[in-house]
Structure formats: structure tokens, C-alpha cells
């Protein structure tokens, strides 16, 4: 019995393009690489053209097709999508792309063959689930990177202002006991010439691992400006505690701010 299959090049091309684009997005997240959507789409488009060509003209053995696909088409896709220059970077991205292709392609085949979904239904389910998974992975990567980010902060006090390099500390749970407002921290050394004398003092209880507990002196400053991703977050009358020791042994930051100042969208005034 002879089986006949109807081949639709447009459907094949669109399917390959979506799978390639999802694979590149997953590669970027796994490899912590940022790529502009236009470059990602162009790389996925080139990969789809290659997929269509080798499907319509199977002139090479499958092993050679896989070799050329991975080391030529794949290398072009990753190097263009993520602007990679060095060979080690490209080879590492190729490995991640191969892993991403196996994941997306395996899920696609499972939905189409085992669950018996149509081609359109399979792509819809794959797109929706991929958006959720990619958003989750992006959030995980962003959460891990947040502790390494530093922010430029301007602190205003009695007609003076001073710039600090701040760490948004997820472990900073300091609050002023009466108002419950979150508290930032600077060192006494950085107060010299800026806020040597305080008009009013607040005492803020703290507890830290390895150092026991105690009280920190602090005050209410006039304003704080936090520069983050092209925006400026303004905190009116922020409470800032002053500690005797330097905050960073490597001097890579001079201020601790509550993490909620950065991640609580809409809570604090923001201007572009």
C-alpha cells in the first residue's frame, strides 16, 4: 500500500521559524546572553531557510546534514543573534542551542504524536507554554543577577546632596519601629562633610547573623533618588541608618537600600 503525504512548504517554514525562535530565546536565557528581537528573528529566519533547503534537497547523508546544521547554520544563528565574536563563545552557544532544539522539538513531537493535536493546536500550546517557561527562566536569571547589580543613588539632606553606589539588599529587613517604613544604611565615614550633625535622631533596632543585635542611629533625609534602567525612583523623606563600619570590604558599594525600592513597581514615584 502506497502512502501519499501532502507537503505544505509554508506550514513547514512557519513551524521551523517558530521553533528556531523559541530555541534561540531559550539559548539566550540559559547562556545569559541578550539579543535584540530583530536579530533573533533574522537568525531564526535564516535557520528556517536552511531547514527547508535540506528537507527539499536531501543530497547529504543524515550525519553530514547534522554536522553542517550544527556547526555552520547553528554557528551563524548564534553568532548573529547574540553578536558573538570569539570561537569559544560561539561553540558554547552552539551547545546550548542544540540543547534548546532538543527541548522545544521534543515537546513539539510529544504534543503532536502522543496527545494527537493538530499542527496548529500543537504550535498554539507550544507557544503559550513556552511564554510561561521562558518568563519563569528569565525571572530566575534576573533574580540571581540582582544581587550583583549596583545603583547610583543621590541622597539629599539640608541643601546638600551626595552620590552613593548602592546595593539593593534582599536581606535588609530594617524598618523604623514606629512608622514601619523601610530603612537604608550608610556608613559614618561617608557622612563626613555631608551630614556631620543631625537635627533629629531615630534609633532603629537591628539583628544580624554573627553580630548579634543592637541599635543603629538614623535620621530622616529630605529625598532619595535611585537611578535604575533609565528611570529615576524618588523616595520622599527616606529613613537612613548610620553604621560605624564600612559596608563593603571591597568598596564596590557604599549604601544598602531595601530591595522593595527597586522591585515594588508603582509604590514609589518614578520619572523617566
Beta-strand ranges (E) seen in 111-265 are 151-157, 160-169, 183-187, 202-208, 212-220, 223-228, 231-236, 239-243, 255-258
- How far apart, in whole angstroms, are the C-alpha atoms of residue 62 and residue 235? 62
The one-character DSSP state at 38 is: H
What distance in Å separates the CA atoms of residue 199 and residue 186, rounded to the nearest whole number? 17
pLDDT digits (tens, 9 = 90+) for 84-98: 888 888 888 888 888
Tell me what pLDDT residue 90 has: 86
CA distance 196 to 45: 62
Q: Is the pLDDT of residue 116 over 70?
A: no
Contacts of 79 (CB under 8 A, 6+ apart): 85, 90, 93
Give the pLDDT confidence of 37-56 residue by residue, as tens digits. Answer: 888 889 888 888 888 888 77
Selection from 67-71, 192-196, 253-257 with the highest mean pLDDT: 253-257
- Residue 209's Cα: distance from chain center in Å? 29
- Nearest to 255, CA basis, from 234, 233, 226, 213: 226
Q: What are phi and psi of 116, to 5 degrees?
A: 60, 40
Q: What is the pLDDT of residue 149?
A: 73
> Would you say 261 and 222 are in contact if contact means Cβ atoms under 8 Å apart?
no
Residue 15 in 3-state DSSP?
A: helix
pLDDT confidence tier of residue 238, bands split at 50, 70 and 90: very high
Q: What number is the average pLDDT over the span 229-241?
A: 86
Q: What is the per-residue pLDDT for 266? A: 47
Give the gyration radius of the chain's Cα atoms.
27
Q: What is the pLDDT of residue 44?
A: 87
Whole-model pTM? 0.49
Distance CA 105, CA 126 (A): 10
Beta bridge partners of 227: 152, 232
Query: What are the residue ranges of helices labelled H in the chain?
Result: 9-30, 37-56, 62-68, 74-81, 87-109, 119-146, 260-263
Three-state DSSP at 151 gives strand
**Higher-confidence position of 137 and 102:** 102
Pairing of strands 239-243, 212-220: antiparallel
Q: Is the pLDDT of residue 272 over 50?
A: no
Amino acid at each position: 500500500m502506497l502512502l501519499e503525504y501532502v507537503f505544505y512548504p509554508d506550514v513547514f517554514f512557519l513551524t521551523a521559524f517558530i521553533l528556531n525562535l523559541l530555541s534561540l530565546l531559550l539559548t539566550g536565557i540559559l547562556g545569559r546572553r541578550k539579543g535584540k528581537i530583530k536579530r533573533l528573528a533574522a537568525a531564526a529566519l535564516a535557520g528556517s531557510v536552511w531547514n527547508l533547503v535540506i528537507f527539499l534537497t536531501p543530497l547529504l547523508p543524515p550525519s553530514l546534514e547534522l554536522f553542517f546544521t550544527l556547526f555552520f547554520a547553528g554557528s551563524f544563528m548564534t553568532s548573529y543573534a547574540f553578536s558573538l565574536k570569539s570561537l569559544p563563545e560561539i561553540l558554547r552557544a552552539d551547545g546550548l542551542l542544540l540543547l534548546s532544539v532538543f527541548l522545544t522539538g521534543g515537546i513539539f513531537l510529544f504534543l503532536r504524536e502522543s496527545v494527537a493535536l493538530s499542527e496548529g493546536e500543537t504550535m498554539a500550546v507550544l507557544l503559550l507554554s513556552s511564554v510561561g517557561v521562558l518568563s519563569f527562566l528569565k525571572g530566575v536569571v534576573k533574580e540571581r543577577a540582582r544581587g550583583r547589580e549596583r545603583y547610583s543613588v543621590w541622597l539629599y539632606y539640608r541643601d546638600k546632596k551626595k552620590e552613593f553606589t548602592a546595593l539593593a539588599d534582599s536581606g535588609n529587613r530594617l524598618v523604623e519601629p514606629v512608622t514601619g517604613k523601610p530603612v537604608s544604611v550608610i556608613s559614618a565615614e561617608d557622612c563626613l562633610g555631608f551630614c556631620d550633625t543631625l537635627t533629629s535622631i531615630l534609633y532603629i533596632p537591628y539583628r544580624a547573623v554573627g553580630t548579634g543585635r543592637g541599635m543603629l542611629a538614623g535620621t530622616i533625609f529630605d529625598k532619595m533618588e535611585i537611578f535604575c534602567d533609565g528611570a529615576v525612583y524618588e523616595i520622599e523623606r527616606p529613613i537612613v541608618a548610620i553604621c560605624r563600619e564600612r559596608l563593603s570590604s571591597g568598596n564596590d558599594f557604599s549604601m544598602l537600600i531595601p530591595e522593595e525600592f527597586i522591585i515594588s513597581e508603582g509604590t514609589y514615584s518614578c520619572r523617566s
